[in-house]
Amino acid sequence: MEFKHTSVLLQETIENLRIKPEGIYVDGTLGGGGHALRIAERLKGTGRLIGIDQDGDAIEAAGKRLEPYRERITLIRDNYCHMKEALQQIGIEKVDGIVLDLGVSSFQLDNAERGFSYKYDTKLDMRMDTRQSLSAREIINDYSETDLYHMIKDYGEEQFAKNIAKHIVMARKEKPVETTGQLCEIIKAAIPAKMRAAGGHPAKRTFQAVRIACNRELEVLKDSLDQLIDLLNPGGRICIITFHSLEDRIVKSAFRKNENPCTCPPDFPVCVCGQVSKGKVITRKPILPSEEEVKTNQRAKSAKLRVFSKTEGK
């Protein structure tokens, strides 16, 4: 299956990276290589691009797409949370720009075997890195009712989370929930009929929640941001595209903290905590996709781009 994925906020991201032809750049969520290709096109001489993705299919597909620029590209199969160690292994300490395009790719959703989508009846999986042991199947069959409820409520922002968790636990007492089709039927039964008719597919929010939990998406993001900012050269930029309100909140909070890390009480005349700003937030409000982009790519609807720039001369 061809790895198809339309990069969201592509032009806006490339503009905000302020690419230097001889700089070093990292695409930490390589996917189909859309952002990476635009970066590679702008590099010259010692310019270098490192593409990181935990999905083996993405690495293979992006490798083909980026073939014309292979002499200045290094592809690494890993999670972006290990970026510092991965870069050190290839002799890189600092970079001039980092891109993260979070969430699930069109290819992962459209590849029935991967079990990300409620559109296909296939085995429950949802692992972005197929080498990991935890899959959606274990989450649905092994999590307690309380854990399922909190996961669906927090990660899926699903108003019927409590009832869905209850129905999952009832169903798995009869037999294990093995497929996406089974899970869809359980979710449908837990949501009132008149509510199922509005707001898209009834399983959408729960599937999103399970995927986020399975891949530890929010924990990885929260634990990585400070380190990623530390990897930037003076004047270097990090551009992050989110698709979920919790992701956006984490990025917004981390960028603000790195801009103003002072922990002194507001009434202190001078700072005594010793915390120094690492740079500045370029996007006071997130950059949103244009109406045209949303029309041509529905996935762009919830996208938000935030940008942070490392302090010059440090």
Report whether 220 contacts 251 (CB < 8 A).
no
What pLDDT is stored for residue 149 in this prediction? 98
Report whether 126 contacts 116 (CB < 8 A).
yes
Contacts for 269 with CB less than 8 Å, ≥ 6 apart: none
For residue 178, give the nearest of 214, 149, 127, 137 by alpha carbon.
137
Q: Look at the block and give the residue holding tokens 């996007």.
A: 283
Q: What angle do CA 41, 45, 46 make, to 5 degrees?
A: 100
* DSSP SS3 for 114: helix
Domain ranges of the chain: 10-107+217-310, 130-214
In whole angstroms, give the CA distance from residue 99 to residue 226: 14
Residue 197 has pLDDT above 80, yes or no: no
In whole angstroms, give the CA distance from residue 214 to residue 137: 9
Both tokens of residue 218? 């929010």
At position 38, the amino acid (one-letter code) is R
Q: Look at the block and give the residue holding tokens 């635009």.
A: 38
Q: What is the pLDDT of residues 58-100, one digit of tens each?
A: 899 899 999 999 999 999 999 999 999 999 999 999 999 999 9
Residue 214 has pLDDT above 80, yes or no: yes
Report whether 65 contacts 37 (CB < 8 A).
yes
- Distance (Å) of CA 60 to CA 72, 77, 123: 17, 10, 23
User: Average pLDDT, whole number, for the chain?
Assistant: 93
In whole angstroms, give the CA distance from residue 283 to residue 260: 15
Where do runs of H (alpha helix) occur along the chain? Answer: 10-17, 34-41, 56-65, 83-89, 106-110, 136-142, 145-156, 161-174, 180-190, 193-196, 204-214, 217-230, 245-259, 291-296
What pLDDT is stored for residue 313 in this prediction? 67
At position 275, the amino acid (one-letter code) is Q
Better-predicted residue by pLDDT, 195 or 88: 88
What pLDDT is stored for residue 1 in this prediction? 47
Q: What is the pLDDT of residues 227-262, one digit of tens each?
A: 999 999 999 999 999 999 999 999 999 999 999 999
Q: Look at the block and give the residue holding tokens 């980026």.
A: 66
For residue 47, give the nearest of 24, 71, 14 by alpha carbon.
24
Mean pLDDT of all residues in 261-282: 92
- The domain 10-107+217-310 having CATH identifier 3.40.50.150: the answer here is yes
What pLDDT is stored for residue 295 in this prediction? 92
What pLDDT is stored for residue 4 in this prediction? 52
Residue 106 has pLDDT above 90, yes or no: no
Superfamily of domain 130-214: Putative methyltransferase TM0872, insert domain (1.10.150.170)
Both tokens of residue 44? 């010259």
In whole angstroms, give the CA distance from residue 60 to residue 71: 16
In whole angstroms, give the CA distance from residue 260 to residue 312: 16
What pLDDT is stored for residue 190 in this prediction? 96
In this predicted structure, which of 1-15, 43-57, 170-184, 246-260 has the lowest mean pLDDT?
Answer: 1-15
Q: Which residues pair with 179 in a beta bridge?
A: 123
| Count of other CB atoms within 10 angstroms of residue 100 | 25
* DSSP SS3 for 69: helix
Beta strand pairing status for 73-77 and 48-53?
Answer: parallel
